[in-house]
A and B are shown apart, each in its own frame.
Chain A
Amino acid sequence: MKDWSRLKLGIVVALVAAAATLVAVAGGAAGVVLTGTEQFCTSACHSMSIPAAEFKGTIHDTNRTGVRATCADCHIPHHSVVAMLMTKTQAGIKDVYGEITGVIDTKEKYEKQRYQMAVSVWAVMKQTDSRECRHCHTAAKMDPEKQSEGARKKHEALKTGGATCIDCHFGIAHSEPDGPGPQELKIAK
């Protein structure tokens, strides 16, 4: 009789643990998804209202087809779950700390930091051959007949590795800072 009670207890504990794990994993997954939405990024931190306002009306915000790319699409890796989680964690901690200490909490402070912020993102894009751009834009699937002659010619450089997306397509989603651009950055690969 004592064995049955212990067995029953063991089963109950196992079921409760399984349920708790399920809830924790589901909750964690929901948290990861929710913290990757445009709504979250632009409302959780007040300083993000500045780039959110700049983003409005740009090609990734509104265009003919209504297909959009928002904050996480460009700033969070998609090629690996580990990379995605690590970036979200590192950036998240850094950004929360920055928000609490008010690093860019006024327009003036934001403008002062603009160039440095742009360079830090450009550096990542150059090191990864504009990986986040290429998550949506596949060069091999670009229809040459739908591009202008100039664009067609320029995109030839993508095949040889002579250029990466960000070399020309910068200042698209956010206002361009004053200073040298991605082509002029010396990035250690």
Chain B
Amino acid sequence: MRTASKFVLASVLAIGVPSGVVLAADDAAASAELKKSGCMTCHSVSAKKDGPSFKAVAEKYKGAADGADKIRANITTSKEHNHHLKTKDDAQVKNVVDYILSR
């Protein structure tokens, strides 16, 4: 392999691998928060339970500009969906919203 290509490959790996690890860790953090908040009592990742699966929710809001906002509202302030995340930390809430949308 030429030196330049090796360098490019190394850079890609140096950025990509840790990013992948961080993203995977965010999934685990989101799962943990959802479990802690009791969401998994009514929701499953891919199966219909009491409420829609996260896959179904992601499908519904795919491509919608306000999808993330709608989900966020549901799990933090909504009176209709009166079940909210235990965490009040913005970053953690965003992480959960991203997790749901990416199922």
Interfacial residues, chain A to chain B (CB-CB below 8 A): 150, 154, 168, 170-171, 176, 178-184
Interface 9-mer from B22-30, B47-55, B87-95: B47-55
- Residues in A with CB closer than 8 Å to B46 are 176, 178-181
Evaluate contact between A176 and B50: CB separation under 8 angstroms.
no
Interchain nearest-CB distance for B100 vs A (Å): 15
B45–A181 touching, CB < 8 Å: no
Q: In the complex, what residues of A have CB within 8 A of residue B44's CB?
A: 170-171, 176, 181
B50 near A170 (CB under 8 angstroms)?
A: no
List 4 additional contacts besides A168-B49, A180-B46, A181-B47; criterion CB under 8 Å.
A168-B42, A170-B49, A178-B45, A183-B48
Is A184's CB under 8 angstroms from B45's CB? no
Count residues on chain B whose CB falls below 8 Å from chain A CBs: 9
Q: Closest Cβ of chain A: how far from B58's Cβ, in Å?
A: 14
**9 A–B pairs (Cβ distance < 8 Å), ordered by A:** A170-B44, A171-B44, A171-B47, A176-B46, A181-B47, A181-B49, A183-B47, A183-B49, A184-B48
- CB pair B47–A184 under 8 Å, yes or no, is yes
A95 to B50, CA, bound (A): 33
Contact partners of B50 in chain A: CB under 8 A: 154, 168
Q: Which residues of chain A have C-beta atoms less than 8 A from B45's C-beta?
A: 176, 178
Query: Chain B contacts of A180 at CB under 8 A?
Result: 46-48
Q: Which residue of A lies closest to B55 (CB)?
A: A178
Query: Nearest chain B CB to A97's CB is how many angstroms away?
Result: 30
Nearest A-chain residue to B49, judged by Cβ = A168
A180 and B48 CA atoms in complex are apart in Å by: 7
Alpha-carbon gap, A50 to B54, bound state (A): 26
Complex CA gap A184/B49 in Å reads 9
Shortest beta-carbon distance, B84 to chain A, in Å?
14
Chain B nearest CB from A80 CB (Å) reads: 31
> What residues of B have a CB within 8 angstroms of the CB of A171 in the complex?
44, 47
Give complex CA distance A1, B2 in Å.
Answer: 109
Instruction: Name the distance in Å between A180's Cβ and chain B's nearest Cβ.
Output: 6
How near does chain A come to B27, taking the closest CB pair, in angstroms?
14
Q: Which of the residues A150, A154, A176 comes within 8 Å of B47, measured between beta carbons?
A: A176
Kindly provide the distance from the CB of B42 to the nearest chain A CB, expressed in whole angstroms.
8
Expressed in whole angstroms, the Cα–Cα distance for A181 and B46 within the complex equals: 8
Tell me the complex Cα distance, A45–B47, Å.
Answer: 29
A181 to B47 CA separation, bound complex (whole angstroms): 4
